[in-house]
Amino acid sequence: MINPQSDTARYIKIYDDIFTNEFCSNLIESSKNSPHWFRRETSKYSFDELPLMETEFSNELNLLKERFTSLFELYQKDCAAQGRFNPKWQFESFRMKKYNPYVDGFDFHSDANTYNRAQRFLVMFLYLNEGENGGTLFSEQKLIVKRKPGRVIVFPPYYMYPHAGQMPRGNPKYILGTYFCHKK
């Protein structure tokens, strides 16, 4: 008998030290002056978001794309999934999120739950800072991923992977995310 919790948990991968603490802290600092931050808030989530634009973050985006592409290859190997993904893919935009302590969070959800998001097939989140609480909680897999600078979490965006962004305490939580998407 297959245990569905352990079977799906094997597709959640955590990779530490993919980016240096210096890269992560520099990205946070350089983002603070951007005029492109905006607030997102509903009954299910609240956070500030910054789309990383080529005009502001070209060097950082180049490194992010290079490392995330390498991680995609490693993820396929670690999951014994080589050749199972569409070879034609593209990144969705890279977005940084800031969760304010004691205020912001993201309730349980999946990331490919609408027609417009159905092209997503893999999630990558980069934690940019550490702090008390503010990790990512996977309810079905009974897993909490703690935030740590340079840590990347990779997982499928589907309904079998409901996850929540915990409310941080003490200091803001900064995370950077993108999705691997099927290319038309």
The answer to whether residue 39 sits within a structural domain is no
What is the per-residue pLDDT across 68-109, written as a single tens digit (0 to 9) for each?
A: 999 999 999 999 998 898 899 999 999 999 999 999 999 999
The answer to whether residue 75 sits within a structural domain is yes
**Residue 138 domain boundaries:** 13-32+49-81+89-182
The answer to whether residue 111 sits within a structural domain is yes
Number of domains in the chain: 1
pLDDT of residue 6: 59
The two tokens of residue 16 are 């530490």
Residue 115's CATH number: 2.60.120.620
- How many of the other CB atoms lie within 10 Å of CB of 177? 18
- φ, ψ (nearest 5 deg) of residue 171: -140, 160
The answer to whether residue 6 sits within a structural domain is no
pLDDT of residue 40: 97
Exposure string over 143-160, b if 16+ CB within 10 A, otherwise e: bebebbbbbbbbbbbbee
Rounded distance between C-alpha atoms, residue 26 and residue 114, angstroms: 34
Mean pLDDT, the chain, integer = 93
The answer to whether residue 62 sits within a structural domain is yes
The answer to whether residue 167 sits within a structural domain is yes
Q: Which of 31, 29, 108, 23 is nearest to 62 (CA)?
A: 23
Q: Which residues of the chain have pLDDT under 50?
A: 1-3
pLDDT of residue 1: 40
The answer to whether residue 119 sits within a structural domain is yes
The answer to whether residue 42 sits within a structural domain is no
